[in-house]
Amino acid sequence: MLILVLKRILLGLITLFIVSLITFVGVEVLPGDACTTYLEREAYGAALEACYKRLGLDIPAYERYVNWAVGVIQGDFGYSLSGEMKINDVLGPRVKNSLVLASASILIGIPIALLLGIITALWRDKLPDIIISTFTIFSMTIPEFISATLLILIVAIWLEWLPGIVIVPTGASISELLPNIILPVIAISMIMTAHMARMVRSSVIQVMSSDYVQMAILKGVPYWKMVFKHVLPNALLPAINVVALTIAWLLGGVVVTEVVFNYPGLGRLVIESISNRDLPVVQALAIILASIYVVINLIADLLTLMLNPRLKSLQIKK
């Protein structure tokens, strides 16, 4: 077990190393650099050299990579494009905001998804299933920029119930954020819930039709006792991986939703830094988002391993 965990951690580190290498090389081979981008038509002579010096671009690329990598390992991402702001200070509030949005969406989305998934599976092909499944497929297929825009149009512009886009001060507290994130949370939950409900549904259906459940039914185990005691625990195991991927997506990938609603999270920072050509920040974000995926997947794998009795027994046999 321990060796397996260590193996997974090592694999994760190698993935991160490769990601860091790809981002760094990618940025290097692009024509132009941070200084020519920042200075535009002023990029020549003394100003250009001063900029290279300030951003440390006057030393060879491999040396810069090592310096940068050592900094990242120590948790220091260096300075943003103009060299005036520490990237760590830029990231701090954004990470927090993304966490708030993700947690709110998870808290609302996951229970609803489980509930819908179970209902549709237990009443398979009956009216509740048909209604809910139509709805989930519908909200799964509509891209989020459309559902978000529709939400703004209906709730904010026509009904005037809620503010359309998020306007909060930098470093807003959670209580300042919460009233503003209702629409984004609905937009995100719609897609997330739909995906997960579909997943849970098929998983429950599979378990329900398995031999041991049929056996239990034949032996006269009460229906609801069987559902809660035997079906759900087994059906929800595969869902852990889906939940993990969803969480990772929520933390860094809800770029579109954050931009549409002007939400100051990591996703909007990705777009801002790319359009400002703030490559040091883009590099930092690439590493952070990759780490989120690696870490959360690792946790999910370990959880499945611990919860799944069959995998455990395999371990013991060895």
Partner 1 sequence: MKQIYKVISFSLISLMLSFSLANASSGVFKLSHDLGFGKDTNLDAITKGRLFQVVIMTQNRLVRKDLKGKVSASLATKWSANSEATEWTFNLRKGIKFHDGSDFDAEDVKYSLMRVKDPDIGSPAKKSMSSVTDIEVVDSHTVKMKLNTSFADFPLLLTDYRLRMIPSGSGDTIGKTGIGTGPFKVDTFDPEGTTVLKANPDYWEGEPGVGEVHVIAIPDGEARVQALLTGQIDMNRYVPFSQKKIFDGNKKFNVSVVPTGNWRGMVMRTDTAPFDDPKVRKAVRLAVDRQELVDLVMGGAATVSCDTPVAPSDQYRLKMKCPQDIKKAKKLLKEAGYPDGFDMVIHVSTKEPTWPTIGEVLQQQLAKAGIKAEVKMTPSKSYWKETWMKKAVAMTRWNERPADSILHEAYHSGAKWNESFFKNSAFDKNLSDARGELNFGKRKKAYQNAQKTLWEESGTMIPYHVSKLVITSSRVKNLDDVEVFSVRWHKLKVD
Q: Check the CA dihedral 272-274-275-278 and report its sign.
A: positive
Q: How far apart are CA 231 and CA 211, in angstroms?
A: 12
- Of 32 and 220, nearer to partner 1 (C-beta) is 32
- Of 79 and 293, nearer to partner 1 (C-beta) is 79
Positions touching partner 1 (CB under 8 A) are 30-32, 36-37, 40-44, 47, 80-82, 84-85, 90, 149, 152, 156-157, 160, 163-165, 167-172, 259-262, 264, 268, 271-273, 275-278, 281
Q: What is the DSSP letter of 167?
A: -
- Of 170 and 220, nearer to partner 1 (C-beta) is 170
- Of 170 and 175, nearer to partner 1 (C-beta) is 170
What is the closest distance, in whole angstroms, from the C-beta atom of residue 166 to partner 1 in the complex? Answer: 9
What is the closest distance, in whole angstroms, from the C-beta atom of residue 156 to partner 1 in the complex? Answer: 4
- Of 36 and 304, nearer to partner 1 (C-beta) is 36
- Of 34 and 248, nearer to partner 1 (C-beta) is 34
What is the closest distance, in whole angstroms, from the C-beta atom of residue 9 to partner 1 in the complex? Answer: 34
- Of 30 and 130, nearer to partner 1 (C-beta) is 30
Q: Tell me the two tokens of residue 42.
A: 């002023």
What is the closest distance, in whole angstroms, from the C-beta atom of residue 78 to partner 1 in the complex? Answer: 13
- Of 244 and 260, nearer to partner 1 (C-beta) is 260
What is the closest distance, in whole angstroms, from the C-beta atom of residue 290 to partner 1 in the complex? Answer: 22
What is the closest distance, in whole angstroms, from the C-beta atom of residue 260 to partner 1 in the complex? Answer: 6
3-class DSSP state of 79: strand
86, β-bridge pairs: 79
79, β-bridge pairs: 86
What is the closest distance, in whole angstroms, from the C-beta atom of residue 43 to partner 1 in the complex? Answer: 5
Instruction: Give, in order, the Cα–Cα distances in Å from 1 to each of 158, 293, 299, 304.
Output: 57, 22, 14, 13
What is the closest distance, in whole angstroms, from the C-beta atom of residue 89 to partner 1 in the complex? Answer: 8
Instruction: Give, in order, the Cα–Cα distances in Å from 34 to each of 62, 116, 206, 275.
Output: 17, 49, 54, 13
- Of 63 and 89, nearer to partner 1 (C-beta) is 89
Q: Which residues of 35-65 are buried (b: 16+ CB within 10 A; e: fewer)?
A: bbebeeeeeeeeebeebeeebeeeeeeeebe
DSSP notation for 195-208? HHHHHHHHHHHHHH
Q: Which residues of 116-134 are buried (b: 16+ CB within 10 A; e: fewer)?
A: bbbbbbbebeeeebeebbe
CA angle 123, 243, 18 (to 5 degrees): 150
Helix (H) or strand (E) holding 263: none
Phi, psi of 308 (to 5 degrees): -90, 110
Selection from 235, 196, 174 nearest residue 109 by Cα: 196
What is the closest distance, in whole angstroms, from the C-beta atom of residue 105 to partner 1 in the complex? Answer: 19
